[in-house]
Structure 1
Amino acid sequence: MKVLKKTPTEQDAAVVQMCLDPTEVPSESRKGNRYPAYPVYKPSGIYWLPKVPQNWTVHRLKWSITACENGAWGEDPDGGQDDVVCLRVADFNRDKFTVDNVNLTFRAIDERHRKERGVQKGDLLIEKSGGGEKQLVGCVVRFDHDFPAVTSNFVARMPIADNQCSRYWAYAHAALYMGRLNYPAIKQTTGIQNLDTGEYLNNKIAYPPLSEQEKIAAFLDWKTAQIDEILSKKF
């Protein structure tokens, strides 16, 4: 097994910083921004995110969730009461970091595992195995549906901790993924990438207060909706 190691570049770090703190967008790109810069910043102690607003705290990623639970593949569906949607990496929308709800896979999962591993609306799902030559493993998406589901054995469920905003954390994980901060936690075997979730979740990150998490998530929802509208008209 080959352990992939790569220190993220300054450009990678800049991607993460701008996603997690919209006020850090360069001033020439920030015309009309509704959120002024924070009055005071402090050193974060994080090598790829050198400073954070004074009222933010710094903790490991794992404290934003209550668990990281592996899924199950179960048995072939038979039309019985155990049949349930089994979410796979193929269901990940890597553009919107959400779960698609078309062409879903059903598997027969016993009642105990359905209760223990059932996915709830707002949960985050992390890709543990997969990737490819041009795509890193470790993508995180948000489950925003109401139908019953479990995850496959290549996907883990991460319920959000109390007083945390799941939409904010979906964006935070997306920023880390785009900035390749998951790279050092990837173990490479022949043709398959495996994410060491323990190592990945030990990464330190800034925690805004809940009210600010919600504002940042709303800002990013607004900006991504603008981008989606522009792209839909262009293409």
Structure 2
Amino acid sequence: MHTLSQHINSNKITIINRSNLEGRLDPLYYNSDLTKFNSGIYKSIPLRSVVLSFKSGIGAGKQDQAIDENGIIQIRPTNIDENGFLKFDKNVYLPIEKKIDRLEVGDVLFNNTNSQELVGKTAILKEEKELSYSNHITVLKPKRDVLLSEYLWIILNLYQKNKIFYAVCTNWNNQSGVGIELLKSLRIPLPPLESQKQIVEVYQSAYEQQKKIEEESEALLTSIDGYLLDKLGISLPEKDNSLKNRIFITQLRQVTGGRFDPKLYDKTTTSLKQAIKETDLKQFKVEKLRTFIVQSLAGDWGIEHNEENYSQEYEKCLVIRATEFDNDFNLKLDNSRVKFRLIKKDKISKIDIQENDLLIEKSGGSPDQPVGRIAILTKDILHNNKISYSNFIHKIRINTSILNPEYLFCYLKTIHNIKLTESMQSQTNGIRNLIMQNYFNQDIVVPILPNGDFDLEKQYEIANHIQSLRAKAMLLQQEAKNILDNVKQQVEQMILGNAY
């Protein structure tokens, strides 16, 4: 038996018998938690022994997709959340007549290609729904007499959580993959069916608790736009997507010298703008956003953070990108995917980041999401990191003597949610770009005092109520997350038994 020198850190060394090599020499492959799961009280078997079929879907570029929502949703990695549940907030559709495999109830959907952190997340189809799947999804159909679909779904997600797929995947060009042959050879502990059912029941009970709490959180978040619009006396027009309503006529003088873009002049956009203008002018002022702005600055992506690039003229910053914008709350900066870059000190001095500055997403978006999301720089955010922002983000500072920054943050977030921001953008090469002139010219409704001055106290009251709703919703989401995290640990113990 080989022994290491006492001067060598054993945590940085992996020793394996030659007879145990499986055709790969990368140490991560042999240093994962896979051994832990396969050394428990239940027999360990390769997936090929208990799964009837492994099949990946097809790729679909823009030319292969259906127009709008007239098609079948193709399940992609973005349709699987971090806990292995299907979500349908950002969808790609394929033509109904296209000859493609459809999913069946009980199918287990394994994400075979993603970043190294996310590869291996797995979903299950629990109800009848006409769906297809992409080449980045491998569908597993278990032998139901020995392996429950729900148990397979749970164990694969436990593997993902324990970074087993992180360790065993193959990496190339910033992507990581788990091929079908590797998946077939992957060993899992296989309890008797009765034990599998008990594990699934425990997990299902926790999931139902979690879902109920998440629904409470979602209800709070959904109420925010209605509350704000009601406080401002704005009544949204009823949505009418009929063919008759989608056909409209506009005056030539309105188009001349401007954008030849139907979204800017359609009935939905003009009705939304009119609803804002028709608020009670005895209680509110309607002013252009630009009248409140005292500073407006573009961002900088900087350079890669490494020893070669580092010099006294640069400073390391957490650079906020569009991916850090959160649709429900503010900024997501507490994960491992944030980017630190080197920004020139004179640029940092110029952009002059301060508390209550607002960040606007000016490039990005998606087919289902307009560009133009908004964020606010709070004291906590600035305390935790040296902050900068990318060239896809724009920063504004407003005159706080007449307008509360948190009120404006809440207002602009609602304007984005009702999709009025969609009329302020253009699209090139699949990327949506905010037309800053149009954005700065949008109407802002602000409460006023009887003498006509801006009512800062009322602004604060509205903003404070909205932020309290968001805080309650966030606490509920954390409670729901804790329920799932705890049941994952409980289920892991049930699978490992006395071996862990």
How high is the TM-score relative to the length of structure 1? 0.76
Whether 2:429 is the aligned partner of 1:195: answer no
**Of 181, 203, 206, the match for 2:420:** 181
Gaps in structure 2 of 5+ consecutive residues: 1-223, 236-272, 448-454, 482-500
Match in the other structure for 1:77: 305
Secondary structure of the corresponding residue to residue 72 of structure 1: coil
Change (3 A) 1:162 1:231: closer
What is the 5 A alignment of 1:80-159? 80-81=311-312, 82=314, 83-103=316-336, 104-144=338-378, 145-146=381-382, 147-159=385-397
Q: Distance in 2 between matches of 1:21 and 1:64?
A: 23
Percent identity reads 24
Gaps in structure 1 of 5+ consecutive residues: 1-14, 27-45
Change (3 A) 1:69 1:20: farther
Shift of 1:230: 4.5
Q: How many residue pairs align between the two structures?
A: 204
Q: Distance in 2 between matches of 1:183 and 1:202?
A: 14
Tell me, yes or no, if the aligned pair for 2:232 and 2:284 is still in contact at 8 Å: no
Secondary structure of the corresponding residue to residue 98 of structure 1: coil
Tell me, yes or no, if the aligned pair for 2:233 and 2:280 is still in contact at 8 Å: no
What is the 5 A alignment of 1:24-63? 47-49=274-276, 50-52=278-280, 54-63=282-291
Q: Which amino acid aligns with 1:120?
A: Q
Shift of 1:148: 2.4
Q: Distance in 2 between matches of 1:171 and 1:199?
A: 19
Secondary structure of the corresponding residue to residue 359 of structure 2: strand
Tell me, yes or no, if the aligned pair for 1:126 and 1:155 is still in contact at 8 Å: yes
Whether 2:302 is the aligned partner of 1:64: answer no
Q: Which amino acid aligns with 1:87?
A: I
Tell me, yes or no, if the aligned pair for 2:286 and 2:443 is still in contact at 8 Å: yes
Change (3 A) 1:190 1:107: same
Tell me, yes or no, if the aligned pair for 2:232 and 2:445 is still in contact at 8 Å: no
Q: Which amino acid aligns with 1:59?
A: E
More helix by share: 2
Whether 2:398 is the aligned partner of 1:160: answer yes
Over the aligned positions, Cα root-mean-square deviation in angstroms equals 2.7
Q: Which amino acid aligns with 2:355?
A: K
Change (3 A) 1:153 1:188: same
Q: Distance in 2 between matches of 1:74 and 1:229?
A: 35
Secondary structure of the corresponding residue to residue 395 of structure 2: strand
Q: Distance in 2 between matches of 1:70 and 1:166?
A: 19
Q: Distance in 2 between matches of 1:57 and 1:25?
A: 13
Shift of 1:186: 0.7
Change (3 A) 1:17 1:62: farther
Tell me, yes or no, if the aligned pair for 2:298 and 2:395 is still in contact at 8 Å: yes
Q: Distance in 1 between matches of 2:332 and 2:340?
A: 15
Tell me, yes or no, if the aligned pair for 1:128 and 1:154 is still in contact at 8 Å: yes
Q: Distance in 1 between matches of 2:478 and 2:389?
A: 31
Shift of 1:16: 5.6
Tell me, yes or no, if the aligned pair for 1:18 and 1:25 is still in contact at 8 Å: no
Change (3 A) 1:17 1:227: closer
Tell me, yes or no, if the aligned pair for 2:234 and 2:279 is still in contact at 8 Å: no
Shift of 1:203: 0.9
More strand by share: 1
Change (3 A) 1:101 1:161: farther
Secondary structure of the corresponding residue to residue 226 of structure 1: helix
After TM superposition, the structure 1 stretch with the greater mean CA deviation from structure 2, 79-88 or 113-122, is: 79-88
Tell me, yes or no, if the aligned pair for 2:305 and 2:342 is still in contact at 8 Å: yes
Shift of 1:126: 0.4
Whether 2:234 is the aligned partner of 1:19: answer no
Q: 1 or 2 for the larger relative contact order (CA 8 Å, sep ≥6)?
A: 1
Whether 2:443 is the aligned partner of 1:204: answer yes
Change (3 A) 1:20 1:76: same
Tell me, yes or no, if the aligned pair for 1:165 and 1:214 is still in contact at 8 Å: yes
Change (3 A) 1:166 1:23: closer
Match in the other structure for 1:170: 409
Shift of 1:20: 4.3
Q: Which amino acid aligns with 1:151?
A: Y
Q: Distance in 1 between matches of 2:340 and 2:331?
A: 19
- List per-residue Cα deviations over 1:84-123 (Å, max 9, x = no partner): 2211111112210335243331212111101011422211
Secondary structure of the corresponding residue to residue 370 of structure 2: coil
How high is the TM-score relative to the length of structure 2? 0.38
